[in-house]
Structure 1
């Protein structure tokens, strides 16, 4: 995973974020499921190796949580998405040079992104979960 974040110290909602995930590194509960998820019926990692999220508006929900609106691109299809972000520490109460751990979850309709296989086994709505640590630029 690679990404970059720009945060305004004057406006906590003024966040710009770009995350690129390698779909060849997507994990699942077991090897068989992982191969299926990475394969042509789902992420098709061979042809679409990157899942991208570009966020442009952060809404503070509490000291430890917020929502980041943006666009998610999967399999070459871009749709609006919201990441529900939970921080391990309150970001506004940390020194700017401190790493910041977070979990972000977006619930998407997989059919919107061309993933229609196995409708009896996999629901339409799936969660994309990102666990990351933001490191300050030194």
Structure 2
């Protein structure tokens, strides 16, 4: 680890992982994953040298509809029993503007790994009331669920499909700087 890079641990109680997908071609269904953990090796003043690793617990999916959540955990979609985790590992971060970056990494869903490029915004740093240094980031992007083997669908009698293929991803991350090792 470079002398300038610090280890930051994702604070799951202040981090949200959300997604949105079209339903019946006319509406949008949103959901979230509550189980998220990971770390970032970074100098927040220069994120182009950062490295991030994130793990999401598939069973923690919540779309506010228990029957739909169980279907999403089933082999029709995420197959949580056989593929309990979604992972992301960054490979490259490029500056796009002030506090704006493009992050490319490997996303693994259902055992399928594909490169994805996401927008990354550094939201700043602050000390909390207990003296911990915190940093916040917003990450967003789109994936095609079929690229990861999430193929289940139903054709509607109007000729459309029940579940859209494009999935919009939105993540708000708060991370806590860890003390340097002695």
Deviation at 1:58, TM superposition (A): 1.3
Q: CA deviation at 1:85?
A: 2.1
| Two-structure CA RMSD over aligned residues (Å) | 2.2
Superposed displacement of residue 35, structure 1: 1.9
Equivalences for residues 58-69 of structure 1 within 5 A: 58-69=93-104
Contact 1:101 1:134 in 2 (8 A): yes
If each structure's strand is expressed as a fraction of its own residues, which one has the higher value? Answer: 2
Distance 1:87 1:32, change over 3 A: farther
Q: Which residue of 2 aligns with 1:38?
A: 73
Instruction: With the length of structure 1 as denominator, give the TM-score of the two structures.
Output: 0.83
How many residues get paired? 134
Select 1:128's aligned residue among 169, 172, 178.
Answer: 169
Q: Secondary structure at the match of 1:88?
A: strand
Of 46, 49, 52, 1:14 maps to 49
1:52 equivalent to 2:108? Answer: no
2:140 pairs with 87, 105, 125, which one? Answer: 105
* Cα drift, residue 4 of structure 1: 1.3
Deviant stretches of 4+, over 4 Å: 8-11
1:40-98 deviation line (CA, Å, top 9, x unaligned): 21111111001000002112233343221111000000000112223433x5xx68x62
Greater shift after overlay, 45-54 or 58-67?
58-67
Distance 1:128 1:36, change over 3 A: farther
Q: TM-score, normalised by structure 2?
A: 0.65
Deviation at 1:27, TM superposition (A): 2.0
Task: Mark the runs of 5 or more structure 1 residues left unpaired by the alignment.
Answer: none
For structure 2, the residue ranges without an aligned partner over 5 or more in a row are: 1-35, 155-160
Q: Secondary structure in 2 aligned to 1:44?
A: coil
Q: Distance in 1 between matches of 2:53 and 2:77?
A: 22
Q: What CA distance in whole angstroms lies between the structure 2 residues aligned with 1:80 and 1:73? A: 9
- In structure 2, do the counterparts of structure 1 residues 46 and 129 end up closer, same or farther at CA, with 3 Å as the change threshold? farther
Indicate the structure whose relative CO is greater, using CA pairs within 8 Å and at least 6 residues apart.
2
